Amino acid sequence: MSLFLKEAQFFISSLKIIPVKTPESIKLLFPNYTWDFYAKKEKKIYLTFDDGPIPEVTEFILDQLQLFNAKATFFCIGENIKKHPHIFNKILSEGHSVGNHTMNHLKARKSTLSSFLENVEKCEKQIKEHTELKSKLFRPPYGQLSKSKLIELRKLGYNIILWDVLSKDWDKNTSPEQCSNNVIDNSKSGSIIVFHDSIKASKNIEIALPKVLKHFTNKGYVLDKI
C-alpha cells in the first residue's frame, strides 16, 4: 500500500484531524463516496445533521429550517429513532429526508463486517417502521468505513454520503462564530455540509445555524435535501 493511500485512510478515519474543507485529492481517491453535488451546477446547498433525533435540539433545527423554507437530510441513529419517534416523524412530516447512521453510532474500525452490517440493518428497521424510503442513504459514524464494509453496503443499495464541508460544531474549541464561518467561507453550490443535532453541538448550533441559513438564503441559494 502506498504511503499516500495510508495517509488518506487515516484522514478518513479520524475526525480530529480532518480539515473543514475536504481536499479534492481525497474525493478523487475515494470515488465511491458521495462528497458533493458540484456536477449538478445548481445554486443549492445541502445541509445534513447527524446523530439525532434529540429532544429540543432537533426540534430547534426543524423550526429554523421552517423559518427559511429550507430542507435538509438527517442521518439518524436507530436508538434515537426508537426513543423519540415523534421527533423522527416530525422530520418526515416537514418534508426532510433521512438516512441511516447505524443503530448505536457504531465505529466501523472496531467492528467485524457481520456485526457492523447487522447494526446498520437494525437502524434500517427502525426507519422502515415510519417510512418506506425511496433511496437508501448511509453515513458512517466518524466517517470510518473499510473497503469490505463499503462493498457490502453498496450491494445492499446504500449510497454512502460523506461531506464537502464540516461545521465542526461538536468541537468544544470551536466557537459559534467560527462554526458559522467554517460553513459560510468554505461552501459553494453543490456542497454537502455537516452539522449535528446533538447535545454536544447545541451551543454552537443555536447561534451558527440561523446565521448560515440567513446568509445562503440572502445569496439566493436553495437549501435542499439529498
Q: Return the pLDDT at 225.
A: 98
2 pLDDT higher than 80:
no
The beta strands (E) that lie in the chain are given as 44-50, 73-76, 97-100, 136-138, 158-160, 165-166, 192-196, 222-224
Domain count of the fold of the chain: 1
Q: What is the CATH number of the domain that holds 129?
A: 3.20.20.370
Active site residues: 50, 196
Domain membership of residue 135 as a residue range: 3-224
> What pLDDT is attached to residue 8?
53
pLDDT at 15 over 80: no
pLDDT tier for residue 1 given thresholds of 50, 70 and 90: very low
Give the span between the Cα atoms of 72 and 29, in whole angstroms: 27
153: alpha, beta or left? (left if phi > 0; alpha if psi -120 to 50)? alpha
